[in-house]
């Protein structure tokens, strides 16, 4: 199992919409998350930043993420959520959610 954490900004005018969208996440999106070997997925909000955390239990992260990106339901979902987000200043080229460095973990 590998832990992943990422950060992105939420546009202030879209913050409430983003919360409402996720309060009613489409079943197909949730199914694809599970099919992509993602477990324990959470998104947190604080001061205009969204922080996501999940655990990956597969053995081909790049392949599973590519399958997710090809899923038509997930792609339609991202059209809504992408409107609400903007990358943090340190995000790489073409990177929406920027990966975070794990500096501490206690199991």
Structure confidence by residue, pLDDT tens digits, 64-90:
999 999 999 999 999 999 999 999 999
Residue with tokens 């324990």: 40
Predicted structure pTM score:
0.91
CA gap 7, 57 in Å, rounded:
21
CATH code for the domain in which residue 83 is found: 3.30.70.1090
Quote the number of domains for the chain: 1
> Residue 105 falls within a domain, yes or no?
no
Provide the pLDDT for residue 97.
96
Rounded mean pLDDT of 91-96? 93
Q: Which residues span the domain enclosing 68?
A: 2-99
> Residue 106 falls within a domain, yes or no?
no
Q: Which long-range contacts (CB under 8 A, 24 or more apart) does 60-63 make?
A: 61/2
Rg (CA), the chain: 14
């Amino acid at each position: 199992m590998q832990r992943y954490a990422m950060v992105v900004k939420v546009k202030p005018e879209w913050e409430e919409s983003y919360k409402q969208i996720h309060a009613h996440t489409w079943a197909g999106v949730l199914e694809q998350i599970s099919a992509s070997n993602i477990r324990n997925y959470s998104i947190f909000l604080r001061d205009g930043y969204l922080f996501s955390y999940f655990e990956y239990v597969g053995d081909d992260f790049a392949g599973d993420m590519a399958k997710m990106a090809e899923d038509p339901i997930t792609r339609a979902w991202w059209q809504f959520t992408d409107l609400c987000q903007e990358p943090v200043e340190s995000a790489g080229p073409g990177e929406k959610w920027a990966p975070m460095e794990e500096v501490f973990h206690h199991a």
